[in-house]
Amino acid sequence: MPIEILMPALSPTMTEGNLVKWHKKEGDPVKAGDVIAEIETDKATMEVEAVDEGRIGKILVPEGTEQVQVNQPIAILLEEGEDASALNKVKTEALPEKKPEPVQAAPEKKPDLKVVPQATPSDSRVFASPLARRIAENAHLNLGSIPGSGPHGRIIRADVEQALAQAGGAAPALRPSAPSTLLSGYEPAYDIMPTSNIRKIIAKRLVEAKQTIPHFYLTVECNIDALLKAREKINARAEGAYKLSVNDFIIKACGVALNHVPAANASWIDDQIYQYKSADVSVAVAIEGGLITPVIRQADTKGLIEISKEMKDLGIRAREGKLKPQEFQGGTFSLSNLGMYGVKEFAAIINPPQGCILAVGMGEERPVVKNGLITSATMMSCTLSVDHRVVDGAVGANFLKAFKELVENPVMMIL
C-alpha cells in the first residue's frame, strides 16, 4: 500500500514550514534513515529522514514551496513490488486550494482593477504576501478581485504584476512609509530583502515577548582578572588539546548560580510557576538570517572542558543548520554574550517561556577603587532581564550575587 510522507512537525511550535529542497527525486529508492528533504522551520533549516523503505512514487509538493502545513502530504512512497499504478489508490492533493474570500463578485475573467482610495477592511482577509499587498496598495488595486497562484491560493507578486499588465499599467515603485521621508520629498534607494521563515518567527516572538512579559533589569559589574588568569593557565597546560573561552566559564557560572538560587530557574506558564530541577542553559548563537539557542544541559554538573567541547560542536552545527530539535529546545535559562563584538553593555529580550536571560558585555580595563586607592581591573557588565511574574527583584539580585561570586572566584565553580 502506498505510504504518504507527511510534512513533519520538527518543533513544538511549528504549524507550517518551507520545503527548501528535495534530496530524492521520483523513482529514487529510499531506505530508513536516508535524508530525503530539507525543511525550514520556525527555528532552523533541518534535514528530514525517511522512516520507511520504498521508492519515491510521486512528489506532491515541489521544493521551494512555502507555508506547507504540518501533516500535509508532501510525497508518496511506494513499497517494494508496487508500481506507478498503485498511486491511483491514493486520493490526496498536495496543496488543497484555499481561495481567498472575495471582496466583490468578479463577472469576468479579466481582473477588475477598480481604483479605491484606500484598502477596505475586507482586504485584510485576503490571503496575499506582504510584497503583493504593498504593490497593490501603491497601485490602488482591489486585492479581492485578483486570483492567487501561490500556495493555498495565496496572491503573490507575479499575480499583481500580471493584473497590472492586463490593464496596460506597470507596477509602481514601492514607497517607504516613513513620514519624514515623504515630507522631505527625498526617496532613498533601497532593496527589499527576502525574509526567511526563521526571521518572521523571531520577529513575531520578540514582539510578543516584549508586549506580554513584564521585563525588569538588574546589572552587576564583575571583575574577571582572576577568571582570565585561570583560563590562561588551563589553556597553557592543555597544549592545544582544547581551548577554554570566557563564555565557557560564564555558562558554567550560570548553571551553578541557578543551582544556588533555584527560584530564578523558573517559567510562568498558564498562570503557574514551573521551577526546574535542571540548569539547562540556552546559549544564543548567531546564524545566517537570525539566531538559535543550543542548550547546554545540566550546566552546573559539567566540567569546563566538557562545556567547551560541547559548545563548540553545537555552535558549528547550529551555523550549518544541522541541530536536532532536542538540542535547541527546552532550555530553562538563556545567555546572550556580545562581548566578543565589542559591546560594553546591553539588555536582552526574554526568550519565552523562560523567566530570565543574562546579557554579557565585553571585559575591559577600567579604573576601580580598591582599599581606598584607584587602581585598574578588567570589568565585565552583566545585565539580567527578568520576567517579574515569576522572578521578583530579590530573587534576581540573589542570582546575580551568586553569579558574580563565581565569576570573580572561578575556583568555586569546581567545588
Active site residues: 388
For residue 69, with 0-12 CB atoms within 10 Å meaning exposed, 13-18 middle and 19 or more buried, which class applies? middle
- Residue 272's beta-bridge partner residues? 269
d(CA 129, CA 227): 51
Written as nine digits, the cell of 363 is 571585559
- Taking alpha carbons only, the member of 311, 335, 310, 315 closest to residue 258 is 335
